[in-house]
Amino acid sequence: MTKNQFKEVFEVGEVRCEIKLENFVDRYMFEEGKLPEEKIRMDIATALVDTGSTLLVLPQDLVEKLGLKKIKRAIVTYADERKEERDVAGVVTITIGDRAANLDCVVGPLLCEPLIGQIALEEMDLVVDCKDQKLKPRPESPRLPLLKCK
């Protein structure tokens, strides 16, 4: 993926994009000289951009592959209004194009589809272009995320 490019897969009314996921603690340990770079757990996945979701959702098998630690529990509400208690794990670094965010994630069922929620989109300052069905940086911030601090 080249700088400022997003690999996207389209279906009617849906936007999916390729995401790079990395264990934040592994990267920190590498930066501290305590872990070789080849031991950093990472993966690439295709995720559905879901503006109705709050957090990043990753399937349990991917969370385990990345070695993310469960840090709390939360009640999640699904699209059909069902509620369920789920684990929240972290910290994972998600990279889309040349933008990245360090986030916690809801641990979804095995093999479920990864979802990119609103918090990830806001932190990376990305928007869904409904007309072209694309995920892209906001026009006001093409080079770096523009974050509000007021």
Mean pLDDT in residue range 126-132: 85
Mean pLDDT in residue range 43-63: 95
DSSP letters for 7-46: -EEEETTEEEEEEEEEEHHHHHHHHTTSS-GGG--EEEEE
Give the pLDDT confidence score for residue 144 in this predicted structure: 87
Q: What is the overall mean pLDDT for the chain?
A: 90
Residue 88 has pLDDT above 90, yes or no: yes
Q: How far is CA 26 from the centre of its chain?
A: 17
- Residue 134 in tokens: 């694309």
At residue 7 the predicted structure's pLDDT band, cuts being 50, 70 and 90, is low
Give the pLDDT confidence score for residue 1 in this predicted structure: 42
| 105 secondary structure, DSSP code | E
Give the pLDDT confidence score for residue 5 in this predicted structure: 52
SS3 content of the chain, % helix, strand, coil (to 5): 15, 45, 35
Domains defined along the chain, listed by start: 15-137 (2.40.70.10)
At residue 3 the predicted structure's pLDDT band, cuts being 50, 70 and 90, is very low
Cβ 126 vs Cβ 137: under 8 Å: yes
* Geometric angle at alpha carbon 59, from 57 and 63, rounded to 5°: 95
Residue of 144 and 100 predicted with greater confidence: 100
* Percent of the chain scoring above 90 in pLDDT: 73
Mean pLDDT in residue range 118-138: 90
Mean pLDDT in residue range 21-45: 98
